[in-house]
Structure 1
């Protein structure tokens, strides 16, 4: 493929076809210009990279999240942890020491450690030339690090979200296509037991034609504001203050998007409307827990405590996506998928089917839940969970979903198989955040999703039920 600079391309109105189909309700954010070029054989939707007998892995960021990834990756057959980079020397060295004690012989004994500078990770990529890079840093670094990793010849695996802006997402897409390197957002929730069960049931048509889904990340995290020098709260608190929208949508959205085959042959994201509540909780928490002159009390918190967004798909389906990391309420991702023959829901796991759930209910007016679902699990447990569930639970990481995700990444790279999540899905799921911010600013006006695939989603295979 000819080399190109994203900014040198002819400007073309974003999603003009979508704008026509939605009518005049789309405002200025949908007429933003983007680079356009003809779709080529470099499309990454079902991309199979050359097989890697051994996956040489480098880590960027080994705080609470990244250190867990490094340790788990080190246990997986066919991996070699070759380098670790972090701003902080103690984190980098501790993670390297842990990895070096895992595996047979000296598999992870020669780990290069980089620390102390903002650009040490670049030096690592240039000197070590890894096969795959795992990025677990603050949100603003995800896109530039993933892009540079691919340019240096590595597959990039990025913590959520994929990027913060639509421009960054386009840059990621173009770089992946240019370099023919995977770039996957590591949405671990797609590997939860309930999510895999529901995916299998949707594929088998148990709830009929899909109509509606509900997704969320409702997780009270105000305690992270105590992390003031380093740690998640030290940088994420500023996002809460400066941004007003759905800032963390992918944990709930990823699974339901794959239930619906969005951007995979059947349907795709079309538009979104978004509304936020008043921003009260963070300010009140800061006033209660910190002195008046504390830096958290100097912020003007603009982000609403709870955001509710509604996604409309090309086929007219709807997805409610909620986000709230402030309010005092129990954790939930909703994880609801509704069809013409029944509904599957989460938190707690419960199922209602027309005609009743075998061995549990007589009709759809009551949920089947708890032990009543034994026959459902026996009949519809996802084959991947049957194969890896016990090992994943033992290895841990959010109940085992982290390990299963990492295992599958390595398995796909070694076998030359398409990844379970492609670069376009990562960008589409992450696009909810900037689009929701635009919608909130415009009083809930609908915003059109970019088509990062440029129409190729119609030819992309649905995610199969992995054996």
Structure 2
């Protein structure tokens, strides 16, 4: 890795000794009980990273009466200004701000100042692990955007810090809260698909106009072929990962729901992993097809990331899972979910389902009637509040889950074991591809506790 990804220059972090384990979570994204021992009615939160994603999450925070946003940190003054505008428009008190001086350690000053019941981390990927570690060491609960870390060691460091400090950590994976995904979970719990055998998911999203732009802060998507120092927003940092890395770079959108369906870390675990990558053509082709792109210096950049990366996981209980990462080619958006068991299957691409004995042989049924019947209780309860929230309401639910767990002092619904297990797919897939698509053992981050931990998202919607 280049110095751009050397987090040790950003924060010196060493592995901590593992302590006691976090209890298995049974929390749902429903209402917390403030009467729980030590519970509270309101929490004071800080946000590290107020870029495009940070502002989406901030929008959910400032519309809640049970949240006070008391601190914001970003080393890009323009983004910090936009975030302050969001808070002001919501009629909330002005939070403390850090990072106007572009000091990359400004977030540490925010953590050291105290007065926080939790912190949201929405920065570039390479900063997630050191920032989460620093927050947990300061005893400040963490809600971290995906991914949890870059290297496999990052994941062990984050895990060991959480175990040593006991500080809550939640991975803010919003797709676990997508309405059809949660309805399918209800169907799995009800046994509608029979015994599960095979699942699929992924991140299939044309990001070419995200990875390249003109460098104009007013136009963060498309309009040019700049990235890195001359790019803006995600083009400033995300594209470099496509230059230097080849693997399943963004696994949690696909694996999160699949892990929930198969009870990973809660009676099941991943045992083996391998990954394959196609050649890399899409990003170069995009550059040279833009006006003046063929003559641009970036037309000579060699991208390492295969255009389609396919990762296969084997599970202890006999299921297989396939993930596909496809972000460099022209295509409509799809996460490509498939849940298949002995009695039928659901696929999100065509919103279809087939249940033996109910569906006509060899024919699909429309999923909507099933989704309505098995709609998750929290969607039934909070659909109106989620209306207008980011990503079709999912961002309301993931923030809601984090806040409610904080208020109740309850276990995080997507906890530290989930976070590192899902996110570690990235460095393991990179290792597999680099070793000529070798199949690898998947580490057991729970240290054997997966055998006794209980599933989350109970069928009745209670916790």
TM-score by length of 2: 0.86
Structure 2: runs of 5+ lacking an equivalent: 1-12, 28-36, 216-226
Deviating above 4 A after TM superposition, structure 1's stretches of 4 or more consecutive aligned residues are: 5-9, 47-50, 290-293
1:179 to 165, 177, 183: 165
Preserved contact between residue 23 and residue 411 of structure 2 (Cα < 8 Å): no
Preserved contact between residue 159 and residue 416 of structure 2 (Cα < 8 Å): yes
- The SS at the match of 1:59 is strand
Specify the alignment match of 1:114 in structure 2: 98
Separation of aligned partners in 2, 1:50 and 1:42: 20
Question: Following TM superposition, by how much is the alpha carbon of 1:139 offset from its aligned partner in structure 2, in angstroms?
Answer: 0.7
1:200 to 178, 186, 189: 186
Alignment of 1:59-138 (within 5 A): 59-102=47-90, 108-115=92-99, 116-138=102-124
Greater mean alpha carbon deviation, residues 212-221 or residues 223-232: 223-232
RMSD, matched Cα: 2.0
Could you say which structure has the greater relative contact order, defined with CA pairs below 8 angstroms and 6 or more residues apart?
2
Greater mean alpha carbon deviation, residues 87-96 or residues 197-206: 87-96
Alignment of 1:53-452 (within 5 A): 53-102=41-90, 108-115=92-99, 116-224=102-210, 225-226=212-213, 227=215, 228=227, 229-264=231-266, 266-289=267-290, 290-291=292-293, 294-356=296-358, 361-363=359-361, 365-369=362-366, 373-374=368-369, 376-392=370-386, 394-452=387-445
Question: Following TM superposition, by how much is the alpha carbon of 1:191 offset from its aligned partner in structure 2, in angstroms?
Answer: 0.4
1:231-255 deviations in whole A, cap 9, x for unaligned? 1122111111111111111101100
Say whether 1:459 aligns with 2:456: no
Question: Following TM superposition, by how much is the alpha carbon of 1:109 offset from its aligned partner in structure 2, in angstroms?
Answer: 0.7
Cα distance change on mapping 1:295 and 1:387 into 2, 3 Å: farther
Separation of aligned partners in 2, 1:120 and 1:132: 17
Greater mean alpha carbon deviation, residues 68-77 or residues 204-213: 68-77
- The SS at the match of 2:268 is coil
Preserved contact between residue 277 and residue 307 of structure 1 (Cα < 8 Å): yes
Question: Following TM superposition, by how much is the alpha carbon of 1:69 offset from its aligned partner in structure 2, in angstroms?
Answer: 0.8
Question: Following TM superposition, by how much is the alpha carbon of 1:350 offset from its aligned partner in structure 2, in angstroms?
Answer: 1.1
Separation of aligned partners in 1, 2:205 and 2:415: 26
Structure 1: runs of 5+ lacking an equivalent: 10-36
Specify the alignment match of 2:224 in structure 1: none
Question: Following TM superposition, by how much is the alpha carbon of 1:47 offset from its aligned partner in structure 2, in angstroms?
Answer: 9.2
1:62-102 deviations in whole A, cap 9, x for unaligned? 11110111121111231100000011222213212321342
Separation of aligned partners in 2, 1:331 and 1:347: 10
Question: Following TM superposition, by how much is the alpha carbon of 1:309 offset from its aligned partner in structure 2, in angstroms?
Answer: 0.9
Preserved contact between residue 44 and residue 176 of structure 1 (Cα < 8 Å): no
- The SS at the match of 2:116 is coil
- The SS at the match of 1:395 is coil
1:113-152 deviations in whole A, cap 9, x for unaligned? 1122211111111114411110111110010011101111
Separation of aligned partners in 2, 1:303 and 1:464: 35
Greater mean alpha carbon deviation, residues 42-51 or residues 212-221: 42-51
Separation of aligned partners in 2, 1:332 and 1:291: 28
- The SS at the match of 1:396 is coil
Specify the alignment match of 2:7 in structure 1: none
Question: Following TM superposition, by how much is the alpha carbon of 1:295 offset from its aligned partner in structure 2, in angstroms?
Answer: 4.4
